[in-house]
C-alpha cells in the first residue's frame, strides 16, 4: 500500500513510517515541521513539507495513496488551554480539509491518533471504549471533535476510520535510533531523564496525596512499538465489505497502571543514576488513576502488547536518550 503518514517527523509518526517502510509499504510523510524533526524522517519516504490543511499539497499526494495514518497535531494539554485557536485549527479545521481531499480523491481509509484525554475524568477504571467522553481540556475536546467528524464523513461519504485512543506512549525504537524529543517535553519518562542528565534540576512530582497506593498518579504506559503494531494491523484489516467495521474505536494501553514513583524508580534502576525529586502541588484536572481496557483491540485486531514490563519500556527510552543529544533539550 501507499500510505500518507501525517506528522511523520514527530515521535510516533517517524517510528510509524519506518515500520510501514520495513513492512514493504510506500510512505509519503506530510509534516509542517512545527514540532517534529526533519532528521527523524526516513530517507526512503517521500517527504512533503506542508501543513495538513494545505489542500494543494493534498491534491498532489492523495490520488496515489491507498490510506492515511493521521498522527499530525498539537499535543500539549497546558498549551491547548492557553491557545485554543491553534489547537482547534491544527487538530480539527485543518484535518477536515484533509478529509475533504480524501473524499475528492476516493481515499476512504484513515487511522487516527486519538487520545485517552477524550474520556476526561472517568467514572471507573479500567476505561472501556464505551465510557462517556467528557474531555476536560481543549486538547481532548479537539481530538473528540475530529472523531465526530469521522463519524459524519463516514455516514455522508463512506470514509472508514479506526481511531486509537492512546494512553501514555513511551519508549523508543529498540536500538535507540529513533525516540521522543518534544520541545518542551511534558512526558514523564523523558522529563525524568532530562532532570537526571541536568545534574542540578529536580524532577517535580505533581502531588503525592492522591488516593493511590503510594499517593502519586497512576497511568497506563504503552510502548511505542506496541502502539504502532496495532496501527499496522488496523490499516491492513480495514474491511470495506463489513459495515460494522467502518468506524472503529480502540483503546491502546497495557491495561495496568504505574505510579509516578514507580516510573522514577524504574528509571533509577535502568540508568543506575539517582533521581532527585521534589513534590509540588497537584495539577488541576489530573485524575488519580487512568488505565485502559484494551480487550477490544486484542479481540478484534488480534493485537497484544509485548512490552508489559515498565523497565523494558524505559530501557529503550534510555538507549535513545543516551545517544541523541536532542533528547536533552532543556524544557
Ligand atoms: N505521545 C503520546 O503520549 C500521545 C498520547 C495520546 C495521543 N497522541 C497523539 O499521537 C499523535 C503523535 O504524537 P507525538 O507524540 O508523535 O507528537 P509530536 O509532536 O512528536 O509529532 C506531531 C507531528 O505533527 C506535526 N504537525 C503538527 N501540526 C501539524 C499540521 N497542522 N500540519 C502538519 N504537521 C503538523 C509536528 O510538526 C510533529 O512532527 C498526536 O496526534 C497526538 O495527539 C500522542
Longest CA–CA span in the chain (Å) reads 58
The per-residue pLDDT for 330 is 42
Gyration radius of the chain over CA positions? 19
Q: Is the CB of 88 under 6 A from ligand 1?
A: no
Q: Which atom of ligand 1 is nearest to the CA of 70?
A: 41
Annotated catalytic sites, by residue? Answer: 139
Nearest to 267 by CA among 318, 207, 203: 318
The per-residue pLDDT for 284 is 86
Q: Is the CB of 316 under 6 A from ligand 1?
A: no
Q: Is the CB of 118 under 6 A from ligand 1?
A: no
Q: Which atom of ligand 1 is nearest to the CA of 50?
A: 33
- Find the length of the chain: 331
CA distance 270 to 130: 37
The per-residue pLDDT for 199 is 77
110, 68 Cβ separation under 8 angstroms:
yes
Q: Which residues in the chain come in under a pLDDT of 50? A: 328-331
Q: Is the CB of 144 under 6 A from ligand 1?
A: no
Domains of the chain: 2-169+221-252 (3.40.50.720), 171-219+255-328 (3.90.25.10)
Q: Is the CB of 113 under 6 A from ligand 1?
A: yes
The per-residue pLDDT for 329 is 44
3, 22 Cβ separation under 8 angstroms:
no
The per-residue pLDDT for 180 is 94
CA distance 166 to 157: 26
Residue to substitute in 5, 18, 35 for testing ligand 1 pocket (most ligand atoms within 8 angstroms of CB): 35
Amino acid at each position: 500500500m501507499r500510505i500518507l503518514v501525517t506528522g511523520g517527523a514527530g515521535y510516533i509518526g517517524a517510528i510509524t513510517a519506518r515500520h510501514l517502510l520495513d513492512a514493504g509499504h510506500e510512505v509519503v510523510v506530510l509534516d509542517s515541521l512545527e514540532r517534529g524533526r526533519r532528521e527523524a524522517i526516513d530517507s526512503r519516504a517521500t517527504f512533503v513539507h506542508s501543513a495538513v490543511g494545505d489542500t494543494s499539497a493534498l491534491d498532489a499526494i492523495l490520488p496515489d495513496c491507498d490510506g492515511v495514518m493521521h498522527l499530525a497535531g498539537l499535543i500539549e494539554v497546558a498549551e491547548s488551554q492557553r491557545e485554543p485557536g491553534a489547537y482547534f485549527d491544527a487538530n480539527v479545521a485543518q484535518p477536515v480539509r484533509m478529509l475533504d481531499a480524501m473524499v475528492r480523491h476516493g481515499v476512504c481509509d484513515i487511522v487516527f491518533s486519538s487520545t485517552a484525554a477524550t474520556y476526561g475524568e472517568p467514572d471507573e477504571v479500567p476505561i472501556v471504549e464505551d465510557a462517556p467522553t467528557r474531555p476536560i481540556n481543549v486538547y481532548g475536546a479537539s481530538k473528540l471533535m475530529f472523531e465526530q467528524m469521522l463519524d459524519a464523513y463516514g455516514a455522508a461519504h463512506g470514509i472508514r476510520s479506526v481511531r486509537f485512543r492512546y494512553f501514555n506512549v513511551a519508549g523508543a525504537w529498540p536500538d535507540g535510533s529513533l525516540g521522543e524529543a518534544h520541545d518542551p517535553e511534558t512526558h514523564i519518562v523523558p522529563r525524568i531523564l532530562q532532570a537526571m542528565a541536568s545534574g542540578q534540576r529536580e524532577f517535580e512530582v505533581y502531588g503525592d496525596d492522591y488516593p493511590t497506593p503510594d499517593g502519586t498518579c497512576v497511568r497506563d504506559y504503552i510502548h511505542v512499538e506496541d502502539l504502532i503494531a496495532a496501527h499496522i494491523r488496523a490499516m491492513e484489516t480495514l474491511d470495506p465489505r463489513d459495515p460494522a467495521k467502518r468506524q472503529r474505536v480502540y483503546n491502546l494501553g497495557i491495561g495496568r497502571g504505574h505510579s509516578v514513583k514507580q516510573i522514577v524508580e524504574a528509571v533509577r534502576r535502568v540508568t543506575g543514576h539517582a533521581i532527585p525529586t521534589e513534590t509540588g502541588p497537584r495539577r488541576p484536572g489530573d485524575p488519580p488513576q487512568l488505565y485502559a481496557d484494551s480487550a477490544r483491540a486484542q479481540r478484534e485486531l488480534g493485537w497484544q502488547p509485548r512490552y508489559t514490563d515498565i523497565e523494558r519500556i524505559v530501557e529503550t527510552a534510555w538507549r535513545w536518550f543516551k545517544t541523541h543529544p536532542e533528547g536533552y533539550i532543556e524544557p
